[in-house]
Every structure is written in structure tokens, then in C-alpha cells.
Chains A and B, each alone.
Chain A
Amino acid sequence: MVAAAPQERYLTIVRSFAAPRRRPVTVERAALALERLVARHESLRTRLTGPRDAPLQQVSAVVRPLYEVVTEPVEEVCERLAAEPFAYWDEWPLRVAFVVDGGYVRHIVLILCHLAADGHAAELLVKDFRLLLLRDTLPPPDGATPRELAAWQHSDAGRRVSEEAIAWWLEEYARMDPVPPYAHTPEEPRFLEATLRSPGLAAATRAVAARNRVSSSTVLLAAAMRLAGGLTGQRHCGMRVIVNNRFAAGRRDAVATISQEALVVLDLDAPSFDALVRQAWGRAMRAYRQAQYDPYAMEAAVTGAGPGIRSFGCFNDQRLAQEDGAAGASTEPAARRNGAPGEKIEMAAARTDGTGEGKTEVAWTDAMDRNICDFRLHVGGEPGGMEVSCYADTALLPPSGIERYLLDLEGLILEAARA
């Protein structure tokens, strides 16, 4: 995150929720609940300390959390509070607003620094906050605290897990074909995000998933990788997938950022898309088990794997709800769907999806000068109205290519569902 500065606001996690109605919440009660929430979760009392190039995390025993009491519309509060990146060394990783009406708190807005929470942790915090608005106490949190997790990472067992993951990644790197160098003149701003909203994609993805007995995430990943291979000319293509790393006992309710990237490498020379989907499921399940590692050691290990030998982009399925009963392992925060303040959101393309359910739309949703990733896909949206965002370095993929990629992704899955 520090490396992504100064334009890393896209990493900030935004959550808002309605206050309980059956027991009207005063500002005092909400403030007390907030204080208890921060006391309960040490990641909310953690800041960076030390030099910028070798920071450490420091937990404080006691923190008096700050909050705003506002009457603005919830969306405006979210936008305003999330506009600036967190000051990791100086600011606590949580900004809070109580939206009041008629003397009571009606909504709570939480803006979380990604250093303190990933998407799953954000959901746990919302759940705890809601309960604390209703009750005075909660049972102690289950599982390991961030400090205990950090201690485990530095233990022999933790190091062994990291070394195994790095060795596994290196084997996967050895299977990958090279990614060709960037071929396009970058735009200004250099990084663009487009978002496809499709009325038919969710159902089509579920149909292909059910047919192949895999998760809908796997179908989307297989499609994303097949199209990526079309861009790079690779037969063996690798894509990183965000994994929440909460499978092990004692990790499920961890309030911290423990999600990391897995590496999925596919042989795209599959006899059919269904065959590729089934291959992706097995490869992804193995890959998800190798997503706990020391990121510095991993970077050092994979650097120098050979000219052009690298993964192509990152896939992040942000749908926390397992609406199809088989959602993937990857859960990350919902990205902000609006452009930067003052930016005009323009429609890039629109078409009917052929299912009679409505119109597919592609809109430009973000732009920035720098980023730590050259290609990123986010899956989100409501059930039945799936959204897929493609964020790319325009030196890698020009704006027309970003639109094309998203429409081809939808087209590939809709066609597979009809087959």
C-alpha cells in the first residue's frame, strides 16, 4: 500500500449500514459501541511506525476513536471520508461517521484502511458493530489476534508454510510462457478502469458452473484467463487470485488483512471451454492452499524467473454472498464504483445481451496516474446484475482493448451457457 502512494485511495474499504430500528440509537450509544469495537479488535488500534522503506506495525493498548456526526446523505459521507488515502503513520485505520436524523443515528459509515482489514474482516466489523449497538458485551473474538498471527508467521511453522508456498509458486512459474512487452503508447492518466454491468452474466455463469460442478468464480477465472492468453499469445498463462486465507481453524474470524494472492496457471490449449473450467477448478483449489507467504521473500524468489516470465494480472471476486451456493474462495472489499471526484463517468459501450433481460453497459469508472498492478479484474454487483471491472495499464491494453476484453468475457460465458 505504501508503494501505491499517493493514489492508493482505491484500496480503502467503504462500508455503511443502517442502525437497528427496534431500539433507536443515540449518538452516545453509537460512540460507546465504537469504543468497544476498537477495544475488541487490535487491528483498529494499529498504525505504522519506523522508516517508510521498512515500516513496522505498532498496536496501542487504548485508543479513543474519533467520529463525525453528520446529516449528509450516506453516499456523500462515504465519498467524502474515503476521498483521501489514510496517513498510515499518523492516523488510526478507521474513519467513522454517524448519520443522524430526528435526534437518532440512522446510518453508520465505516471507512477502513486496507492495512487493518480485508473484505472479510470488514464484514466481521460491521457485524460486531451492529451487535454492539444492541448489546453491551459480546463473547470474546474467536481465533487468533493479528499479533498472534504475526508471531506464527515468524515461527518455524509459519516460515515452513511460506517456504512451501514459494517453492510451489516457483514450480508454477517454470510452467508459464513469457508475457510479451507492452506494445502501446500509454494514455494520460495511464491507468483506466471500465466496469461492465450485465443482466445476463450472473445466470450464465451459474449455468456453466452447475454443469461442470465448480464455483461461479472458477468459470469467470477460466474465461478471464482464456482472454488474457488471447492477448499475450501464451499457452500456459498465470493469473493471481486474491484469496481470503480463512480456511484454517482459528482464522475464520480474523479481523486483519490476511488475504493474499494465489497463483493459478492454466494450460489454455484445452479441448473446450468446459474442459478449461474443470481444469481451472482443480488448479485453483491447489493454488488457494499456497497463498500464505512472506511477500518480500516471494517477490525476491520470483524476480529473475526469466524474461517475460510473470503472471498476467490479478483476479478478485468480491462477491461475499455465496448466492449460487458455490462462490469462490476469493473475497475482497468492494471497490469504489465511482470515478474520482470531479471526473465525468462516461458510457463506453452498451449492447443487449441477447437474453432479453436488458442491456449490457460498459462505463469508465476510474482513472489514475499510477498503480501497483498493470491488470486487475474485479467481480461484484448484486445477484442477477453482475459487475465486472477491468483495470489496466493503457500501455498494456488501450481503452478500446479494455472495453473489448469485458464484452468478450461476457460473450464467452453467455455463449458457453447456451451450448
Chain B
Amino acid sequence: MLMDGELHERLADMIAKAADGAVDPAEVLAGQARLSDLGVTSLAYLRLIDAVDAEFGVELDPAAVDSLDSLVDYIRLHG
């Protein structure tokens, strides 16, 4: 399993990729902003769910995850 910092960075990259670059990974890493407030669309969420499933074997509950920290916690708990 990745260390916390690495996991944050990896997930921030995955979020940016899922959002087609519309979201800056640095912005995701910077604070506690909700992903939806950063411009993560439902389409990007679905891509992210798929990518997380493929990489970590964890199926995200979209209603339970709306920030990078909650995403990290979810993967730690269910991974």
C-alpha cells in the first residue's frame, strides 16, 4: 500500500486525469475543497470510480466521497 502522501498525490493525478485536465492536481492537493466545487463533473466521477476500481480494487460510493481526504479514507477503509 502507498504511504499517505503518495496516495494523496496518486489520487490527485487520477482525479485530474478523470476530469480531462479541467482540474489541476495541485489544486486538489492544496486544500479541503469539495471535488464538485473544483469542477469534477459526474462524468469525471464515473471515470474516477472506474480507475480506482482498476487500480485499488475498491468500488467507491460516490455519495460518500467528495474530497481528496474522504477519498483517501475510503480507500484505506475498503482497500
Contact = CB atoms under 8 A, between A and B. Distances in A.
A248 B49 CA distance: 9
Given A213-B36, A247-B50, A249-B50, A285 B42 contact: yes
B62 A247 contact: no
Given A213-B34, A326-B42, A286 B50 contact: no
A285 B39 contact: no
Interface string B40-60: 011101110111001000010
A256 interface: no
A315 to B, nearest CB: 14
Interface string A278-296: 0001101110110000000
B43 A213 contact: no
A329 interface: yes
A325 interface: yes
Contact of A248 (B41, B50, B62, B63): B50
B62 A282 contact: yes
Q: Is the interface of A mostly helix, strand, loop or mixed?
A: loop
A218 interface: yes
Given A249-B50, A249-B51, A249-B54, A329 B37 contact: no
B42 A217 contact: yes
Contact of A285 (B34, B45, B51, B54): B45
Question: Main secondary structure on chain B at its contact with chain A?
Answer: helix
B46 A247 contact: yes
A247 B43 contact: yes
A416 B57 CA distance: 39
Contacts of A248: 47, 50, 54
B41 A285 contact: no
Contacts of A327: 41-43
B43 A285 contact: no
Contacts of A328: 42-43
A126 B24 CA distance: 29
A213 B46 contact: no
B66 interface: yes
Given A247-B43, A285-B42, A213 B37 contact: yes
Interface of A: 213-215, 217-218, 247-249, 281-282, 284-286, 288-289, 322, 325-329
List of 9 A-B pairs having minimum Cβ-Cβ separation, nearest first: A282-B63, A285-B62, A247-B46, A213-B36, A215-B42, A247-B50, A248-B50, A247-B47, A326-B41
